[in-house]
Structure 1
Amino acid sequence: MDISLLFSMSDRVPALATPSAMHPESWQLRAQVEAWARGRGLVLGDPDTSPLGRARCERLAARVFPAADADSVDLFARWLTWTLALDDTMDHPPLSDSGSAVHALYDDLLRAMRRGHARPGARPLEGALVELWHTTSKSMSRDWRRRFMLHLEAHRDGCAKESVNRRIRHVPTEAEYAPLRRRACGPFLYDLIEPVLGVELPARLLRTPRWSTLADGVADVVAWSNDLASHDLEAARGDAHDMPAVLARARGLDAEQAAAAVADRIADRLEEAWTAARRLPEMLDRLELTVAQRSAAAQVVKALLATPRAHLDWLAESGRYAPAADPAPPRLDALASLR
């Protein structure tokens, strides 16, 4: 499977038709993020020899936020790098098939965030997280910080459930998979849109069904698109936690049919998200939001709706899902990459 199927959808999915813009300082961001990842021990040796080193997270950040403050885009790219480093750790024993090991790791991470410093000799993930959290949370409200922590805990629970499924060789059903994947695909990353843009959304907006349809829809599209890109690597290690594998098992499909079915689901889910976004203004009127709150909502909606195409363009230029023996793809702007 590959992502060419997603690019071929652009004729029938207007939201994917236009290539994403790129932040003008993307190349400087690359050097900054690579230096940070090396300095924190997240990337060791030649970056092109590891999936994390080849991921080029700054490109995804620069595509989601092409006009934001460069320092804020850099911060988002660091969060992406940390999240993928955590994901790589989860993909290997003992965490890959032990829910208790996932909880133990997360206990260490969450305790470090709460006390404000990593333990002596802690793994790089812990120290990097404390630094990122300090930089990000200092300008955000208590409500936002609580929401972010709850999404970290949801991520922990989703990853732990996946680990248990691997151990007992359980393939999730279609009904089980979407909410599980949403939890295991870094839901806290979407909270970071607000500090990157320097805004904060009111809680009463976030509680509405229409906002949930928009936010969850975008998260699902990104997760399922990522599933198409990572399916071959996951299948090689016997992991059935991706949408193609789930649909193939549930419907008795071959690989080509399963990929096409995933593409159809992505198109439908993206349309649901855009429909919810188009109907948001009337809801904002009913909520009687202030001018500043309406502006914040508009900025976050714009970033959310830009994310699926930005992620698709990143998948095409990232080397994260290339087989280990293959060289990284050419680093060209002409090529338009969470799990």
Structure 2
Amino acid sequence: MDISLLLSMTDRVTALGTPSAMHPESWQLCAQVETWARGRGLVLGDPDTSPLGRARCERLAARVFPDADLAAVDLFARWLTWTLALDDAMDHPPLADSGSAVHALYDDLLRAMRRGHARPGARPLEAALVELWHATSRNMSRDWRRRFMLHLEAHRDGCAEEAVNRRIRHVPAEAEYPPLRRRACGPFLYDLVEPVLAVELPARLLRTPRWKTLADSVADVVAWSNDLASHDLESARGDVHDLPSVLGRAHGLDAAQAAQAVADRIADRLDQAWTAARRLPDMLDRLELTVAQRAAAAQVVKVLLDTPRAHMDWLAESGRYVSDSPPGTLRLDALASLR
């Protein structure tokens, strides 16, 4: 599988028809984010020799937020880099097949956030997280900070469940997979839309079924698109936590049929996201939101609806899911952050 199927969808799915814009100052981000990642020990050696180094997170940030303040986009790119570094660690022993190891790592991370500083000699993942949290949370309310922490805990639980599944060789059932994938695919990243835009959404809006449909649909589209891009690499190491594998097993599909089934589901989920978004104005009226709250909601909705195409465009230019370097080539990846 490759992303050509995803790119072909941009011609037949209206919601994907417009190419994502790029932040006009994106050229500055590459050096800034790479310098930060190296300085924090998340990327070591030649960036082209590791999936994290090849990811080009700043390109995704610049596409998701083409009009935002450059410093805020830079912060989001750093969060993406940290998240992918954590994801790389989760894909390899000792975390890949041990739920208790995942919980132990996350215990260290969450304690550091609550304490406000990393331990002396802490692994890079911990130290970088505390730095990012300080920079992000200082202007956000207690409710937002609590929501973000809850989504980190959901991510921990999703990754731990995946680790157990790998150990016992359990392939998630079709109905079981979407919520599991949603938890394991960085749900806290979507909370970051608000600090990047310097807004905050009221809790009563976020609790409505219509908002949840919009947010979950976008998260699923991004996760399932990622599944198509990463399927070959995951399959090679025996990992079945991707939608093509789940649908292939559930319905007896070959690789091409499974990929097409995923594409069809992505199109359906996008339609659900846009339908929910079109129905939001009536809900905003019923909730009696202020003018400022309605404007904030409109900004966040635009980013959410633009994200699937931005993500697909990023997949086309990122080297994260290409094969690793040939044997004998220096390869230093995010596992270094656990040593």
Match of 1:44 in 2: 44
Q: Please give the alpha-carbon distance, in whole angstroms, between the structure 1 residues aligned to 2:241 and 2:40.
A: 29
Match of 2:130 in 1: 130
Q: Report the AA paired with residue 242 of structure 2.
A: D
Shift of 1:193: 0.1
Q: Please give the alpha-carbon distance, in whole angstroms, between the structure 1 residues aligned to 2:187 and 2:264.
A: 23
Q: Report whether the alignment pairs 1:184 with 2:190.
A: no
Shift of 1:7: 1.3
Q: Please give the alpha-carbon distance, in whole angstroms, between the structure 1 residues aligned to 2:122 and 2:230.
A: 30
* Partner SS state of residue 175, structure 1: coil
Match of 1:63 in 2: 63
Shift of 1:61: 0.2
Q: Deviations over 1:11-62 (max 9, x none)?
A: 3211111110000111110000000000000000111110000000000000
Q: Deviations over 1:190-222 (max 9, x none)?
A: 000000000000000000000000000000000
Match of 2:274 in 1: 274
- Superposed counterparts of 1:265-304, under 5 Å: 265-304=265-304
| TM-score, structure 1 normalization | 0.96
Match of 2:25 in 1: 25
Q: Please give the alpha-carbon distance, in whole angstroms, between the structure 1 residues aligned to 2:48 and 2:116.
A: 33
Shift of 1:309: 0.2
Shift of 1:325: 3.0
Shift of 1:10: 2.0
Match of 1:155 in 2: 155
Q: Please give the alpha-carbon distance, in whole angstroms, between the structure 2 residues aligned to 1:42 and 1:7.
A: 30
Q: Deviations over 1:88-116 (max 9, x none)?
A: 00000010000000000000000000001
User: How many pairs align?
Assistant: 326
* Partner SS state of residue 45, structure 1: coil
Match of 1:225 in 2: 225
Match of 2:79 in 1: 79
Q: Report whether the alignment pairs 1:240 with 2:265.
A: no
Match of 1:308 in 2: 308
Shift of 1:9: 1.3
Q: Report the AA paired with residue 251 of structure 1.
A: H
Gap regions ≥5 residues in structure 1? 327-339
| TM-score, structure 2 normalization | 0.96
Q: Deviations over 1:155-206 (max 9, x none)?
A: 0000000000000000001100000000000000000000000000000000
Match of 2:203 in 1: 203
Q: Please give the alpha-carbon distance, in whole angstroms, between the structure 1 residues aligned to 2:142 and 2:259.
A: 42
Computed over aligned residues only, the root mean square deviation of the Cα atoms, in angstroms, reads 0.6
* Partner SS state of residue 320, structure 1: coil
Q: Report the AA paired with residue 162 of structure 2.
A: E
- Superposed counterparts of 1:255-270, under 5 Å: 255-270=255-270
Q: Please give the alpha-carbon distance, in whole angstroms, between the structure 2 residues aligned to 1:128 and 1:261.
A: 39
- Superposed counterparts of 1:113-128, under 5 Å: 113-128=113-128
Match of 1:34 in 2: 34
Match of 1:334 in 2: none
Q: Deviations over 1:278-311 (max 9, x none)?
A: 0000100000000000000000000000000000
Q: Report the AA paired with residue 99 of structure 1.
A: G
Q: Report whether the alignment pairs 1:88 with 2:88.
A: yes
